[in-house]
Structures are given as structure tokens and as C-alpha cells.
Amino acid sequence: MIHRMVMSVLAAIGIASGTAAQGVTISGSSSAQFVELRPLVLDSATVAATDSISPILRRAATGALTNCAATDAYCYFYRSMPRNGLVAMMQDLDVTAWGFGQGLSFHGQLRARTAAGSGRQLWPQADQSFDALSAYLQLERPGFDVRAGRQWVTSGLGVFNFDGGALDVRPFGWWDVNVYGGRSLVQGLDRPLGAAALSPVEDLPPPDNAYLVGAILQLRDLTAGSLRLQYQREIESNRSALYSERMAADATLLLGRATLAGEMTRDFATGAFNDLALSLGAMVVPQVHARIEARHYAPFFDLWTIWGAFAPVGYNEGTLATDWSSANEATLISLTGGWRQYDQTHTGFESLPLRSNGWRVGTLARQRLSSVFSLEGDYNVDLGFGASSTDGDLAIRWAPSSRGSLGIRGMAFQNLNEFTVGAGHVLGAGFEGSLLLRPDLRLAGDALVYRHVGDDAAQIADWNQRRLSLRLEWSLGAEPGLSRTLGRAGVP
């Protein structure tokens, strides 16, 4: 892994320097994170060792709810395994090199990662030790850009990565046409979307790899608004079938101090509108911004899965958000609320209803107490189908200068899961801080402790844990004529 990583970086730098590049910028983030988790494991108890609490459920001596089959001598339940600790290490490198020719530049985003410890298998994609998230050449010319290599397209349909090419043409000042295509990749991984990547977690993976093709038309006028239309399809590599065929339309209309926005995504395979939303945002009075939105949402599933055939329903939701900030923006208070109602499922029993609506409210407040201290807190309640939660966070931050800060954070939250593994409340506390050692070098870290108290009868999940993370962010080189600074992405 390290070998591949080093070789890739050296290759990137070598390309830049060996071909008389004018310069290279490299920014990196080295992080190490200690996490504790307690996986669940299936356990059993004899029927005789359990007490009946319903025709189906029995309770074990530990208090855990168990499932018992009439013909079986055992009842089954899940319990938490001993605490597993892991240290996840990650090295991100972002490389930009230019000067190979007029407007020609190279962009690469490389990630090496590994995990150590008894729970290393719990870290997502722990066996994927190296990712080349992007690596492409870009030619920028007045009126058009061309990209070739591993790249991403971000759009109303989502975020997709692929190996291929993209052409971005700007025939007029406010027109932009982008066509792209290439081999589909698994989102966030540098592996093709196919059986090899998905078979470990899916018995019926896509039969073949896929190609992604699409086009985006954007019209943008700073004074009037913007419109972006997108069509995209994912084609099985043998071209016998589609994995998806979708379109998106997003528009913004500027109406004085108000903004009217709409979005739509449509899945041609199921004929469903996955997103239909209309929102109006405005500065209703000085320092008070409000936004109201009406939305219909229905989930989208790739056509290589059977999930779309299950006719999933969507929900209609109305949300209202408003925030007030003082004239000097030392105080900010934000309120949000929403109500959603699911479409009729035409299934189930009236005598055994599940919740078919939900609501949520939340508030966020920030107060700059002085030139160096600030206070921030939020509280949210989300009551819905499947799960509900109540959570609150409070943090105070000391930032004596722009070079660094130190904060103390406390939190409490309660999860109420309607039909999943457990419910309980968690209390947490810790600190976080960052220090700019040099304009191009920053150290950031945090340490947090959580105490989980199970509220449910099952008592099968234990979220007691400690967490610690450290990150070192740095940059080398600068664009010609520009001073070197760390990007904002690394702010803790």
C-alpha cells in the first residue's frame, strides 16, 4: 500500500517536474483516529432458560428479548461483543501540477488508509488500502475545458466518479454545456461498478461493469438566476441493459431580495419523480432570513437491483427555516421545522399500523461572547417512521487568534428505534482544538468520551466508547503569483 502510495506521489511530482512544469501544489492531510466499537453477535439460550412475554417473544435471564421458533429448542438474541478498538490512519494527498503547456494541468487526489487493532474490520472498506479518487489532465482554454482521466461529476442527480473524459464548452458568457462519459466506478472507491466490488456485500451484484454518460446544460445569469438541465444514463458494459436512466432540472430565480428555487429529478425506468421541490427564501426583514419549501421525495434505486420493483413510496414534506443574526453577526439563532407524510403503501394491516408521518424541529444558536470566546449550541427533535431522536450539543470555543482555537463540547442524545436493534441515550463530552503552526501547516485534534445507557428491553447495543483523533494538514507550493495558504477544507 505504502509502496503504491509513494510511487503515485512520486509519479505525480515527476510528471510535473520532469516535463518542465511551472509548479506543483500539494496539500496533504495525515490523520489518525482511535475508535471503540462493540459489534453485535448472535447468541442463543435454551427455551427453558427464557420467560415467555408473548406468543413469539421470550426474555432471557439477561433481560434480552429473544426470538424462538416453535420447533427449536433454542431462542436467539443478539448481544454486544467485548469492546473493540481500532486506529484508522489516513493519508490524503491532493496534487495539482501545471505548466506542461498552455492551460494544461494535472489534478490528483490520492488516499491511502489502513486500520489497526482488534476492530480493524469494522472500519469501512478497511481492506481497501489505496484510493485514487481522482487523477486527470485538464486543458483549459478560453471557451472550453477538457478533462481526461479519473474524475467526478457533481450534479442534481448526485455525485458520480468515473474513468473517462469530459468536455465543458462555454459558447456564450452565460451558457455552459458539459458532456461526460466513461467507465462507472463505485462511489468513493477506485473500483469499477461491478461484481468484483459488490459481491462481498451483495449476493446478486451487477452482472457486468457499466459506462456512465451524461450531459449538462447550464444557463446562468447573475442578475436573473440559473437553470441546469441534466440527462444521464448508466449502461451495462455489454450494452444489453441500462443500470439507470435519469434526468435532473434545477433552477434558481432571483426576485429582488427573494430567491425562488426548484428542483426535479426523474427516474425514467420507474417513471417516478425522485425529487420535486419548490422553495422560496428571502430576507423578510433586515437580519432575518426565512426559507419555506414544499417537497416530494421518493427513493431511487439502480436498475441492477430488484428494489425498484417493490414500488417504494415517497413522502411529501413541508419545511420552514428561519435564521436571525445580529447586525454585527455576533449572535445567530436559527430555527427549522418540517412535517412529512408518506404516500399510501397499500400494504400492511390496519390493526398493525406503522407510523406514516413524521416531524422535526431544531434550533441552533451561536453567540460570540467576546473577541476570543464563542458559544454554540443546538437542539433537535426528529420524530418519524423507523426511528426518532432527540439530541442537543453545546460547545464553547476559545480562539485567541486566527492561529488556533480550543473548544469544549458536550452532548446528549436519545435514539428511539421503532424496529431495530435498540434504544438508549448517550452522554458525551470532550475537547477539540486546532493550531496553525505555520501558514501552511496546521494541527487539529479532538478527544471525546461517550457513555451509553440502554433504555430498551433488549439491551443489546452498547455505544460506550472513547474517541481520539489527530490531523496534520499541510501544503506545499503555490499558484503562480498567489500566496500559499491552507485551504479551508481542513478547518476542524
Query: Scanning residues 280 to 319, which ones bind other proteins (CB under 8 A)?
Result: 283, 289, 297, 299, 301, 303-313, 315
The answer to the question of residue 198 lying near other proteins (CB under 8 A) is: yes
Binding region for other proteins (CB under 8 A) out of 2-10, 13-21, 62-70, 162-170:
62-70
Q: Note whether 394 binds other proteins by CB under 8 A.
A: no
Q: How far apart are CA 208 and CA 194, in angstroms?
A: 5
- Strand bridging mode 373-383 / 441-454: unpaired
124 contacts other proteins (rule: CB under 8 A): yes
Nearest residue (CB) to other proteins, 11 versus 467: 467
Tell me the C-alpha distance between 217 and 247, whole Å: 12
With cell 468515473, the residue in question is: 162
**Which range touches other proteins (CB under 8 A), out of 9-17, 164-172, 324-332?**
324-332
Q: Does residue 111 interact with other proteins by CB under 8 A?
A: yes
Nearest to 475 by CA among 489, 454, 465: 489
Select 181 or 425, whichever has its Cβ closest to other proteins: 425
Residue 349 sits in the site that holds other proteins (CB under 8 A) = yes
Q: Does 371 bind other proteins (CB under 8 A)?
A: yes
Residue 477 interacting with other proteins (CB under 8 A): no
Q: Is 442 in the site for other proteins (CB under 8 A)?
A: no
193, 104, 98: which is closest to 147 by C-alpha? 104
Least distance CB 19 / other proteins (angstroms): 19
Q: Rounded CA gap, 23 and 484, in Å?
A: 13
Q: Give yes or no for a contact between 319 and 295, defined as CB atoms under 8 angstroms apart.
A: yes
* Binding-site member from 62, 237, 356, 367 for other proteins (CB under 8 A): 356
- One of 11, 139, 330, 443 touching other proteins (CB under 8 A): 330
Q: Does 163 bind other proteins (CB under 8 A)?
A: no
Residue placing its CB nearer to other proteins in the complex, 6 or 56? 56
Smallest separation, CB 184 to other proteins (Å): 11
| Residue 182 vs 430, nearer CB to other proteins | 430
- Judged by CB under 8 A, does residue 418 bind other proteins? yes
- Binding of other proteins by 218 (CB under 8 A): yes
Site membership for other proteins, residue 91 (CB under 8 A): no
107 lies in the binding site for other proteins (CB under 8 A): yes
Q: Is 455 in the site for other proteins (CB under 8 A)?
A: no
Region from 4-12, 13-21, 162-170, 361-369 binding other proteins, contact rule CB under 8 A: 361-369
Is 169 among the residues that bind other proteins (CB under 8 A)? no
| Part of the chain binding other proteins (CB under 8 A), chosen from 1-9, 10-18, 164-172, 374-382 | 374-382
Q: How many CA atoms does the CB half-sphere of 318 hold within 13 Å?
A: 0
- Residue 218 contacts residue 224 (beta carbons within 8 Å): no
Query: In whole angstroms, how close is the CB of 318 to other proteins at the nearest point?
Result: 13
* Stretch of 2-10, 13-21, 87-95, 162-170 lying at the interface with other proteins (CB under 8 A): 87-95
**Min. distance of Cβ 137 from other proteins in angstroms?**
14
